[in-house]
Amino acid sequence: MLTTESTNEARVAIEPGFAWDAQDAYLFDIDGTLLREPGRIHFDSFASSVQRVTGFEITLAGILLHGSTDTAILREACRQAGIPSDLLESRIEAILEAMRNTVAERRHEMTTIRMPGVEQALDHLAKRGAILGVATGNLETIGWIKVEQAGLRQWFRFGGFSDHFPIRSELIGQAAQMARELAGRGASICVVGDTPRDIEAARANFLSVIAVATGKYTFDELLKHQPEVCATSLADLLALTRTKQ
């Protein structure tokens, strides 16, 4: 049973006995957890890249984006648009490369907004000796561009991305393996994310979870999935921790 504490709009629930800031390594989701990108450069790269490579028009309308992966979103959008599977398979790597190039070419137009308390939480965990990585549905080039544009790249030593993993649990597993190579085979690893899919992917890999309601999903919606920690934001989680020190 998670113990919930509330102060005005701030809410934090922590499983008794779980030390959220004493794990050996952390895998941070990017969109909705570390930052948001309101300019939609990444979002728009799907349709423009498919059109450039195949001539087909696609839309992301009706596709669940939050917690998904770039490769899974692309496949679903192409299926929805009626693109023949044999054509997609022959051109998918070219489409993905076009997406990477589009975002890279427009990186200086990109606006990123850090979520509350992100840098302070990263600093807190790093000072406690934790190894920090990202685990995201973004393609690797795109994910690192967002992190760099937000001024957060210096905190992260490695990452798991969707270039070769359309299933989120698989990219989480890859990132966890990299974390163990750095922190030791028996390292405790915690996923930090903002969607039920982050929680499900962590559970599939037997990892603990910090869920933050800074994306699409509310605190109560995330709490139903029973993460070890649920917080309205990393800022609120850190503030509660500091009041108890």
pLDDT at 155 over 80: yes
Residue ranges of domains in the chain? 3-37+113-243, 41-109
- The stretch 204-210 carries a mean pLDDT of 98
Label each residue of the chain as H, E or C. CCEEEEECCEEEEECCCCCCCCCCEEEECCECCCEECCCCHHHHHHHHHHHHHHCCCCCCCCCCCCCCCHHHHHHHHHHHCCCCHHHHHHHHHHHHHHHHHHHHHCHHHCCCEECCCHHHHHHHHHHCCCEEEEECCCCHHHHHHHHHHCCCHHHCCEEECCCCCCCHHHHHHHHHHHHHHHHCCCCCEEEEECCHHHHHHHHHCCCEEEEECCCCCCHHHHHCCCCCEEECCHHHHHHHHHHCC
Question: What is the pLDDT at residue 85?
Answer: 93
Name the architecture of domain 3-37+113-243: 3-Layer(aba) Sandwich (3.40)
Q: How confident is the model at residue 244 (pLDDT cuts 50, 70, 90)?
A: low
Mean of the per-residue pLDDT values for the chain? 94
Please state whether the predicted TM-score (pTM) of the whole model is above 0.85: yes
Is a pLDDT exceeding 90 seen at residue 242? no
Q: What is the pLDDT of residue 7?
A: 56
Q: What is the mean pLDDT of residues 46-58?
A: 96
Instruction: For 27-44, write each residue's pLDDT tens digit.
Output: 999 999 999 999 899 999
Residue 1 has pLDDT above 50, yes or no: no
Q: What is the pLDDT of residues 95-133, one digit of tens each?
A: 999 999 999 999 999 999 999 999 999 999 999 999 999
